[in-house]
Chains A and B, each alone.
Chain A
Amino acid sequence: MEASGIHGFPVGPLIRCGTVELDALEKRIAELRSEIRAAKAAGEHATVRSLRAELRKTERAWDVALEPEPEPAKAPLLPVREQVHQALTLLGVPTATKMIVTVNEAFFAGHIATSQLTSLRRDEEKSFRSSPFARPYYLCAALTSELLSPARGLLAVSTWPMPTRIIGPLSPRADFLTSATRIAEHIMRLTGAGEDASPSAYRLLTRMAQNIPGAVDGFDQADPTQVIAAAGAELAVHEESDASHRDEAARRAERQLNEVRQLFGAGLKTARTA
């Protein structure tokens, strides 16, 4: 919630924050805006400049007031939704919150509490409904292939092709294999660039590899190339059947659902499945 309240976000979340400080700042922002309008109308350019400077300062103060207490040092300055977007972009498939948190910690030294994600999808939906496509991307739902309802507990990115955001019976497995591959590839990119991935990144890869046939030997640390090969081999088994399910459902979704529902699902109770 807190982090979605970046500048320019609709007013909804503000009210819920409800602190005296925020109220005062908002009042001041509104005053400044009308003063700017008045100054503009009067052609007082110098006043406009100084008022704008004060407006920016006040808006920054508003942002700061809304953000949670900054974590000491290591916490990145990215808002939660951007951290989530970053992790999802690495993974490339609809993903459960727990995995998002783990990937964010392992690769971006980020820190999100799972509780911060519980209402994310709902907030994004509200934002989309109030001004569709106003943002470059939305964190949205994945849709179940049969009923096109939001799949439980998964987050996706609105810019992904529709079939990627569909979950058919084989998709949980296929997506798991894809994310293992993407993680292995990312580690290789890091090592290729002369850096190295964190120990927790290798631990994550190893844990995933242990559930993929042939991806790791015994209790050793997983080797990214071996993981990519093994995951690819199993993925080849599921790919065709999974893709045909997804494509068919995606066509149906695009035909039957309006914009909001294409992103957030055709469920009856979207709120509780968030």
Chain B
Amino acid sequence: MTRLDTLRGPAEPLDHNARTIAALAVNPGCDRRALLDAAGVDKQRTATHLGFPAPFGQSPFAITRAKSFDALVKANGCAHLLRLLRSTLDLSISEASYSDISDVGGNDDHQVRHTRTRALLKRAATDGDGAGTLFDHPLLKLTVAGHEVYLEPAVIAFQIEGRFHIVEIKSFAVIDDQADAGQVAAAARQSAVYVHALRALFTAEGLDPGRISHNVVLVCPKDFANHPTATLLDVRQQLAALERQLSRLTRIDRILDELPIGITFDLETQSPDEVGKAVATVGARFAPECLASCEMSLFCRAEARDRESTDVLGRAARDELGGIESIPAVLGLADDSRPPSPEQLEIAEQLRYVRRIYTEAVA
């Protein structure tokens, strides 16, 4: 732990949320991301410090829209949500209780809210009927690389007949029963984080984590109106990916062992050049997909370009080129200026052939 603290420097470790944790599972092979996240380094600030600010952000219009839709679904004692749960999960009429844990008697301290979340959910899980149906803003905890982090609660936990579900409210539209695949996938990854955290809470309370369903209730606007509609989303696959990545983070020692002693990413004391060199000692696995989800992506892409790595061409292209790491190597094998290693014999032959007929056809 102390080594991770040294890496980060005196800055407070960054809080995680479902989005940041879900992003971990997108590129599980990347040591750099794993280490920076484990140490709670602010990647956004680091990337900016290095001169490569993250290439994405969120529009204020999208934020406003998300908030207002969330409010609509929960308005009037979750009237919309109850209608949806009654029709999709056959929730009985009598189950309509609602508890808000966004504060406890006006106190919104994380620890207080987490304790309350545990108490309410435990009671709901053990008392059976009438002990609670909807729990808004439950504050959950997750262990990330040995650190306990609180999860920003953007969901509702929901109990029906002893089984618990996560309700995720998203403002992207479902039009004629179809939604944007990328947004559904992102929602599934984030929901999986909550399912995982809720299971961890149950385990810690000595309850059966199997009572948390892998089916998440996804609530979205229907068609072009604001009218909410619900779908069940199976997040087993996302859970598996997440759990694998989280377990990698707990084995972060392997990455630490390979680092030079005394290295730090401290933005206060280190120049951009020094931080850049320090970050470069941890291997990254750049793929163009990172550009949509990782704050460090432009730095890593510049690095991959400097190395003339085939990674910059995309995963599919790299695979087509037999997984050869560098572009000069690809071209060298193709024009016979570089002798192939034994395992490159086959791809080298193909490349020589491609080069010959490509050159013919272009000429």
Contacts and interface: CB of A to CB of B under 8 A. Distances in A.
A269 B106 contact: yes
Nearest to A169: B97
A173 B105 contact: no
Interface in B55-109: 71, 75-80, 82-83, 86, 93-94, 96-100, 102-107
Interface in A106-152: 144, 147-150, 152
A76 B94 CA distance: 41
B79 A208 contact: yes
Interface size bracket, B side: 20 to 34
A173 B106 contact: no
B106 A176 contact: no
B96 A152 contact: no
B76 A273 contact: no
A30 B98 CA distance: 52
A167 to B, nearest CB: 9
A169 B98 contact: yes
Contact of A213 (B93, B98, B99, B107): B93
B130 interface: yes
A147 B93 CA distance: 26
A172 B94 CA distance: 13
A211 B106 contact: no
A269 B132 CA distance: 26
Contacts of B71: 98
A241 B130 contact: yes
Contacts of A172: 76-78, 98
Contacts of B79: 173, 176, 208, 211-212
Nearest to A96: B75
A197 interface: no
Contacts of B76: 96, 99, 172, 176, 179, 208, 211
24 contacts: A98-B71, A147-B104, A149-B105, A150-B106, A152-B100, A169-B97, A169-B98, A170-B97, A171-B77, A172-B98, A173-B96, A173-B98, A174-B77, A175-B77, A176-B76, A176-B79, A179-B76, A210-B83, A213-B93, A237-B93, A238-B94, A241-B130, A265-B106, A273-B103
Interface of B: 71, 75-80, 82-83, 86, 93-94, 96-100, 102-107, 130, 132
